[in-house]
């Protein structure tokens, strides 16, 4: 059934309850990537899905195998990533008897999946797989879990049944607000397009750019929306939010109309520090009606796929509705939003690493990030050229995401150069996956910003907790190059700024998995930073504006 749905790759880790499936994998056309930890099977399937837009597939055994996958599944759920998560289960006749490696995975997964199935009758297996596959990718995408008791996996089934298809209810649409949306656009003077992960997922890049050009509106994004239009686009203000760009915040705060496309007004982007005046109105386009109303403003809500809705809106506008003074103003803000750095300091500043990484960042490059300061520097300074090029854990903020997601992206797009930007804290959570990259011949470049601290937590303690550093210094970090070599990967030490470019070039050119261990300044903060307490002033650092 997975082959019939054109599944080419799946990620997993075997155990007793899923041996029957693994036995069949030997004779299938599907490539199985053996990870070293089940959490990373889910992260790799997630990276595969983010890089392609296809549904990622992961598989684990029962009990601890299933529980280990929960974090990766929750990460995908928080960012609306399509995934099919398969778990083995003890035999259906001993469910609830505290059998060996039994856990109620069905209940456990409910809060982090779109839907769940438990197959206690093999005749229901085709129904579960078919519906799960459709549900994962329909409407607002997300992971779907199928729990598979071992006796049902071993049971016989009429093969004709596996060709049956079962319909699911298609998401309902309501585009009746299009005329009101057109009216708001023609009445406003300072429109802003706020485009998130839903716009990327819907493939609405061209429509977002076209609408921006038609009405002269700047584009701001949350982390998940980066790449919806190229970073270099003069109307792309960049990321908004706690660590966003000052020009994005200026444009957003001064707007009188927000056109929100596939974004959920998260607390990390939409806060008392960033929100415009109460007179600002909202057009919200989303396939998920639960997202409406989160802006707490007068809003025209359009429940529809983002690509389709924007197409209808563009057609209804009928031509350009220019806001030239506003367009000139936001372009000036972007021009002034620059930062001064001495790129040849010692220790190395992470901004220097991002600057050099940009010289290797072409259309055929995919970069994943881990979570923390490394993620924010990548968000600010990488020159992203297209959707699905910068992959990062947004809503769940999962440390350890970067490396396995890069492996999944490389499996999905073997033609692309794939790198991951990580910190020394996050890398050590999943460092064993270097073995996966090597053994599976999925070479990735690990750009390690090594500062010896849990940097983002330290930064909070520094700025808001009177420098009372508690359990954030990692102490005696290992020699990461020696670890890489132990896993039969390549390792390169970088201690001087002048070495960064050549080290990255060697890593990308070597054709093997490579850890570039770059010693970075532990006192460099990811700025600007909007504090969680609205009463506190933003920390702007060295930003001119």
Tens digits of residue pLDDT in 89-128: 999 999 999 999 999 999 999 999 999 999 999 999 999 9
Side-chain-side CA neighbours of 50 within 13 Å: the count stands at 37
**Helices (H), ranges, 193-349:** 197-201, 205-215, 246-253, 306-317, 324-336
SS3 state at 256:
coil
User: Considering Cα of 473, then 475, then 478, then 479, what sign does the dihedral take?
Assistant: positive
Q: What's the pTM?
A: 0.96
Rounded Cα distance between 368 and 364, Å, is: 13
Tens-digit pLDDT profile for residues 217-267? 999 999 999 999 999 999 999 999 999 999 999 999 999 999 999 999 999
pLDDT tens digits, residue range 55-74? 999 999 999 999 999 999 99
> What is the mean pLDDT of the segment spanning 517-531?
94
Q: What is the mean pLDDT of the chain?
A: 95
- Do you know the residue count of the chain? 545
Which pair of tokens denotes residue 468?
Answer: 């009372």
ω into 528 cis (within 30 of 0): yes
- Straight-line distance from the first to the last Cα atom of the chain, in angstroms, rounded to the nearest whole number: 55
- Across 380-404, b (16+ Cβ under 10 Å) vs e yields bbbebbbbbbbbbbbbbbbbbbbbb
Structural domains present in the chain: 3-163 (3.40.50.970), 178-336 (3.40.50.1220), 350-519 (3.40.50.970)
CA separation for the pair 98, 209 (Å, rounded): 56
pLDDT at 541 over 80: no
Q: How far apart, in Å, are the Cα atoms of 462 and each of 35, 299, 456, 458, 482?
A: 37, 39, 10, 6, 32
Say whether 303 sits in a helix, a strand or coil.
Answer: strand
Q: Residue 356 and residue 336: Cα distance in Å, rounded? A: 22
Question: Using one digit for the tens of pLDDT, what is the confidence trace for 494-513?
Answer: 999 999 999 999 999 999 99
- What would the pLDDT profile of 118-166 be if each residue is shown by its tens digit? 999 999 999 999 999 999 999 999 999 999 999 999 999 999 999 998 9
For 351-382, what is each residue's pLDDT tens digit?
Answer: 999 999 999 999 999 999 999 999 999 999 99
Encode pLDDT of 162-189 as tens digits. Answer: 999 898 999 999 999 999 999 999 999 9
Alpha-carbon distance of 287 to 91, in angstroms, equals 39
Q: At residue 535, does pLDDT exceed 80?
A: no
Q: Which of 143, 152, 58, 64 is nearest to 109 (CA)?
A: 143
What token pair was written down for 381? 């300074």
Answer whether 334's CB lies under 8 Å from 247's CB.
Answer: yes
- For residue 545, the model assigns a pLDDT of 37
């Amino acid at each position: 059934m997975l082959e019939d749905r054109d599944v080419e790759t799946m990620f997993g880790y075997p155990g007793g309850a899923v041996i029957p499936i693994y036995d069949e994998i030997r004779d299938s056309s599907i490539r199985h990537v053996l990870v070293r930890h089940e959490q990373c099977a889910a992260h790799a399937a997630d990276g595969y899905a983010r890089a392609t837009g296809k549904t990622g597939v992961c598989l684990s055994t029962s009990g601890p195998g299933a529980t280990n996958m929960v974090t990766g599944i929750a990460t995908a759920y928080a960012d609306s990533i399509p995934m099919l998560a398969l778990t083995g289960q003890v035999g259906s006749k001993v469910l609830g008897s505290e059998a060996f490696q039994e856990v109620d995975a069905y209940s456990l997964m409910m809060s982090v999946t779109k839907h769940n199935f438990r197959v206690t009758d093999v005749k229901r297996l085709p129904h579960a797989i078919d519906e799960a596959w459709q549900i994962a990718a329909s409407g607002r995408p997300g992971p779907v879990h199928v729990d598979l008791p071992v006796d049902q996996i071993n049971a016989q089934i009429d093969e004709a049944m596996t060709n049956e298809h079962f319909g699911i209810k298609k998401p309902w649409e309501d585009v009746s607000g299009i005329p009101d949306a057109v009216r708001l656009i023609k009445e406003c003077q300072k429109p802003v397009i706020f485009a998130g992960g839903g716009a990327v997922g819907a493939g609405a890049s061209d429509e977002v750019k076209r609408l921006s050009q038609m009405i002269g509106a700047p584009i701001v994004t949350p982390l998940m929306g980066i790449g919806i239009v190229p970073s270099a686009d003069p109307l792309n203000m960049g990321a908004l939010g706690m660590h966003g760009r000052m020009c994005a915040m200026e444009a957003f705060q001064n707007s009188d109309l927000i056109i929100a496309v596939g974004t959920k007004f998260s607390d990390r982007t939409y806060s008392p520090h960033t929100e415009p005046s109460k007179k600002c109105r909202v057009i919200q386009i989303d396939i998920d009606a639960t997202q409406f109303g989160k802006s707490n403003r007068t809003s025209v809500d359009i429940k529809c796929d983002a690509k389709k809705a924007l197409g209808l809106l563009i057609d209804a506008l009928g031509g350009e509705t220019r806001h030239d003074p506003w367009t000139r103003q936001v372009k000036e803000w972007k021009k002034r939003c620059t930062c001064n750095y001495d790129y040849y300091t010692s220790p190395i500043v992470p901004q220097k690493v991002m600057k050099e990484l940009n010289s290797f960042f072409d259309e055929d490059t995919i970069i994943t990030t881990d979570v923390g300061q490394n993620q924010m520097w990548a968000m600010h300074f990488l020159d992203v050229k297209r959707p699905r090029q910068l992959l990062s854990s947004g809503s769940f903020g999962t440390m350890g995401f970067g490396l396995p997601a890069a492996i999944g992206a490389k499996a999905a797009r073997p033609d692309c150069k794939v790198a991951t930007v990580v910190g020394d804290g996050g890398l050590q959570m999943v460092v064993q996956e270097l073995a996966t990259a090597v053994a599976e011949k999925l070479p990735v470049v690990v750009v390690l910003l090594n500062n010896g601290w849990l940097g983002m937590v330290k930064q909070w303690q520094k700025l808001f907790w009177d420098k009372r550093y508690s359990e954030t210094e990692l102490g005696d970090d290992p020699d990461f190059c020696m670890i890489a070599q132990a896993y039969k990967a390549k390792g390169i030490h970088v201690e001087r700024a002048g070495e960064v470019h050549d080290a990255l070039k060697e890593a990308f050119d070597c054709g093997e998995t490579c850890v570039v261990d770059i010693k970075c300044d532990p006192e460099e903060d990811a700025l600007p930073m909007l504090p969680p307490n609205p009463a506190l002033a933003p920390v702007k650092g060295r930003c001119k504006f």
